Chain A
Amino acid sequence: MDFIPNTDEDKREMLEEIGVDSIAELFSDIPSEVQVQGELIGEEGRTELELKNEVGSLAKENAKPGDRVNFIGAGLYDHFIPSVVSHVTGRSEFYSAYTPYQAEISQGTLTWMFEYQTAISELTGMDIANSSLYDGGSAAAEAVLMAQEYTGNRSVVVANTLNPAYREVIETYLPDPDDSVIQLPDNNGTIDTNALERTVSSNDDLAALVLQSPNYFGLIEDLRGLKEKVNDGFLIVSSNPISLGLLEPPGQFGADIVVGEGQPLGNPISFGGPLLGLFATRKEYLRYLPGRVSGKTTDGEGNEGFVMALQTREQHIRRERATSNICTNQALNALAATVYLSALGPAGFSRLAEINWQVSHYLARKLVEIDNVQLTWEKPFFNEFVITIGNDPERIWKSMKQEGIDLLHPKHLKHMGLDRNLMLAVTEKIRKEDMDHFAELLEREL
């Protein structure tokens, strides 16, 4: 199966117009000694029916997600997605379009981008948001680069309660030894503010503090007073956007940049991608913003419309002096988020956040009734929490898997020295009977 319409007759006519005898002649500028001879991938084409049969059976080599109960979070969360989302993102006028360079025939894309920027600004409590970055980790890295550019400083303090994958992405983006990445220790699962004060007072090159709330362990960090503690450095906060239906947004605590993983907003986990990098900041940093933004303007007759604004920050114009190298972003995932947030509205979104709090606390309460199970830290959490069990967590992980219950592998907690622990995420999709069943099984195992 291919998608090429040229018939033999078409080709003959076209070659005649060009004035060459064969298509091979059009490739004569490629040195013949390096042209591919013989097979390329050793595959014959498939018809649609064959393709669907073959790739469909590959899909069946996976477990069926609907048959299992999933408590894995760690940055990606399995939320209910209303049908309206895929009906909108499935319209090919949206998904088969390119970046809206030609504004007059891209008002659909540019309008939802503007809506998305508004919704993300609202959620985070910030002035402005861009129209997406790749994912939560790369958004955190871009935030650090922006903080360095604005402050002229190089060193970055990263909370050890930040998702460790995000810290690794930040470190990858900062390969220069002058860009020191300093780990901020925790105090019982949330950042150690005394250590922060010591770190800041001994550092005259601070570009930013990066932390996450709810943090990697689900605990809510107290953001009050942190902006004052980092002096002229940026306060960069990564948040699970769903939590912002319940929690005071970082913008209210003086955050300079709010980033996060936008997947929970109407996007499937999809085995880790495509994801959605959220990025929101304050007006005064506008010229430093990475990525695309839609802005309102008018045409010659005064009609309102949208264009890609401030393109002079971007790589296709500014080249090596651009604010970021990003070009392709996560537009369709951002459209999904826009539709999702509009479908829920303020009441639905707040209620969703409340349910997530409630169901996770329901499970936590059930589990701590079991002998040998405690909350690792008795601190407020959102929809994810860590328990300490008097047993080898890997054994529990294995036996639960046999029962159709998926837990985060305990190795993802080991970097914190947690070796008798399990971390559980609960969303509105988890049923009460599945939590009760899990609690019974855990009690039996311990």
Chain B
Amino acid sequence: METIFDISKSGRQSTFFPYLDWLSEDPESELDNGLIRSGKPGLPEVTQPDLVRHYVRLSKLNYGVDDGLYPLGSCTMKHNPKPNEDIARIEEFQGHHPLASYDLVQGNLRLSYELGQLLKKISGMDAITLQPSAGAHGELTGMLMIRKYHHENGQLDKRNKILLPDSSHGTNPASAAVAGFEAIEVKSNDQGTVDIDGLKEVADENTAGIMLTVPNTLGIFEKDILEVASIVHDVGGLCYFDGANLNAFLGKVKPGDLGMDITHFNLHKTFSTPHGGGGPGSGPVAVKENLEPYLPVPIVEKNNEEYQFGYDRPKSIGRVNSFPGAFGVLVKAYCYILALGDEGLKRVSENAVLNANYLKEKLQKVYTLAYKGSCKHEFVLNGGGLGEGVKTIDIAKRLLDYGYHPPTVYFPLIVQEALMIEPTETETKETLDSFFQAMVSIAQEAADDPELLHNAPTETPVGRLNETQAARNPILRWTNSGQS
């Protein structure tokens, strides 16, 4: 794969800076020689046309949601509305420094404040921070607030455990651990939901809280969630709601009405801001009133009709970012919510769930469904057993040849050979039908010609890449010789 370094040639350049005859200052006359860079950094040397062609070529090796169906479970790969991209780039939004005088940035502050109000209404919570940069960052923020809450109540010494269903996102236990908690697994029952008896066994006076993903990573709504909340509350713990799957019940139910104390939002999932090939995201965290004092500083505040960042919060956990948050992402989420309005937001979850159940109903005729029953926005299949030696990875790679992005594979961990499918509400019935046909053909191929699947993909720019080799002999940067 050709990199920009491979096409570099000494003497080429794309961007130049002017010579300014009024400048005579010379760094070398003031700075100790030992502190001046001895050799120029090894950056590529390319002209603008080479540069553009290189990245246009790379872009064509990619697959985005604008290219087609992206049923990546747990990731909510829905359409990214184009107006929002343009609006976020308005100079008056984008051109300001976060430390500018408040009177110069009232529009930005008001937008942030109003987005916070909307998210509070959607989640049924009382207070919010827009600062965290991503879902996992929101989780960490929430865990640190739980920690602070128990600390203020003089109970932190004994409350060192966070309960986590075995179906939880990988970030959940990782975030709990970064915040200094011990992660305690709670088993799922045969319906894929939290096992209430199992929960009662582990919930005790050492419980700091629980992290719940709803619907869980099997796409199943935790029907006993009110009971889960009261079990945890009864032992003195708090309930953290991983909002990554909010697309499943947007406008239908609010985490705040389910006994939850804290929730985060993935604006880059539910609220349609692009994933950017891995980021940036935004992970606002909303809380009930009793946790409000612990929110990170600063908070966007409204005093009379003026907006400002509020820093005077003595019980705050502190900052989680150097600056107040991913404003560019907030603009897009705000536009999305306003464009849809009440009815549009409800149609999101209705159609996300309709599309998922439709696809599930069709696919379960050919594939094994991991858990029976109605799903919400996603569902999990077992991709094994269709042909000799055929595994989920083979199905996923064969889907590439059919021109689709595959579902999430091998997650959740509690399902063997998992294929986790989330179609989202922005896909047409025709697209779902075509995807179903591809999955049927692949199942047939698995039985008739398993080698075809083992050798997939064959239609992509590269064949199946060797991840073990990349781990054993890590080459993580370009060098002249091609070695790291």
Contact = CB atoms under 8 A, between A and B. Distances in A.
Contacts, number: 689
B418 to A, nearest CB: 12
Interface in A290-305: 292-301, 303-305
A131 B276 CA distance: 13
B339 A172 contact: no
B341 A45 contact: yes
Interface string A59-101: 1111111101010101110100010101110111111111111
A29 B253 CA distance: 11
Contacts of B134: 134, 326-329
Interface stretch (A162-170, A198-206, A437-445): A162-170
Top 3 A-B residue pairs of the complex, sorted by shortest distance between their CB atoms? A65-B95, A272-B323, A272-B98
B280 interface: yes
15 contacts: A48-B83, A58-B110, A61-B110, A94-B59, A169-B321, A172-B296, A268-B94, A309-B471, A309-B476, A328-B279, A346-B42, A348-B16, A348-B17, A354-B27, A358-B25
A351 B41 CA distance: 12
A416 interface: no
Given A2-B340, A82-B15, A117-B476, A99 B95 contact: no
Interface string A360-388: 01100100000000000000100000000
Nearest to B250: A40
Given A305-B1, A309-B474, A412-B99, A97 B322 contact: no
Nearest to A350: B40
Given A48-B83, A307-B465, A40 B180 contact: no
Contacts of A322: 170, 174, 177
Contacts of A63: 92, 96, 104-105
Contact of B321 (A14, A36, A74, A137): A137
Interface in A316-340: 316-322, 324-333, 335, 338-339
B405 interface: yes
A17 B358 contact: yes
Given A94-B276, A325-B140, A357-B27, A108 B91 contact: no
Interface string B102-126: 0011111011000000100110000
Contact of A105 (B63, B93, B329, B345): B63
Contact of B62 (A107, A173, A333, A350): A107
Interface stretch (B30-38, B195-203, B230-238): B30-38
A270 interface: yes
A58 B62 CA distance: 35
Contact of B55 (A39, A91, A347): A91
B39 to A, nearest CB: 9
A159 B462 CA distance: 48
B254 interface: yes
A23 to B, nearest CB: 5
A44 B5 contact: no
A228 interface: no
A316 B77 CA distance: 18
Contacts of B347: 2, 4
B335 A316 contact: no
Contacts of B321: 134-135, 137-138, 169, 273, 275
B37 A248 contact: yes
A222 B72 CA distance: 49
A121 B361 CA distance: 50
Contacts of B111: 55, 58
Contacts of B180: 175-176
Interface stretch (B285-293, B349-357, B380-388, B443-451): B349-357
Question: Which residue, of A40, A64, A127, A315, has the highest number of chain B Cβ atoms within 10 A?
Answer: A40
Interface in A113-139: 114-115, 117-119, 121-123, 127-129, 131-132, 134-138
B380 to A, nearest CB: 15
Interface in A203-248: 220, 222-224, 244-248
B37 A245 contact: yes
A375 B370 CA distance: 69
B225 to A, nearest CB: 8
A330 B320 contact: no
A5 B320 contact: no
Nearest to A63: B104
A174 B350 CA distance: 42
A161 interface: no
Contacts of A358: 20, 23-25, 27
A406 B95 contact: no
B245 interface: no
B322 A163 contact: yes
A275 B322 contact: yes
Residue picked from B104, B110, B428, most chain A C-beta under 10 Å: B104
A1 B344 contact: yes
A98 B275 contact: yes
A403 interface: no
B63 A106 contact: yes
Given A1-B339, A74-B99, A293-B476, A107 B1 contact: yes
Contact of A76 (B86, B97, B176): B97
A194 interface: no
A62 B92 contact: yes
A417 interface: no
Given A18-B358, A244-B41, A347-B13, A271 B121 contact: no
A272 B65 contact: no
B98 A65 contact: no
A34 B92 contact: no
B338 A55 contact: yes
A271 B23 contact: no
A409 interface: yes
A18 B31 CA distance: 74
B87 A51 contact: yes
B96 A271 contact: yes
A183 interface: no
Given A63-B105, A249-B37, A40 B44 contact: no
Nearest to B319: A168
Contact of B281 (A247, A328, A361): A328
A359 B249 CA distance: 55
A135 B254 CA distance: 31
B346 A40 contact: yes
B165 interface: no
Given A104-B457, A324-B174, A345-B46, A273 B326 contact: yes
B93 to A, nearest CB: 5
B133 A273 contact: yes
A27 B249 contact: yes
B319 to A, nearest CB: 4
B391 interface: no
Nearest to A10: B429
A418 interface: no
Q: Which of B14, B34, B58, B147 has the most CB of A within 10 A?
A: B58
B345 A41 contact: yes
A439 to B, nearest CB: 13
B185 to A, nearest CB: 9
A343 to B, nearest CB: 4
Contacts of A145: 178
B63 to A, nearest CB: 4
Contacts of B325: 272-273
A48 B64 CA distance: 23
Nearest to B17: A351
A98 B277 contact: yes
B80 A99 contact: no
B334 interface: yes
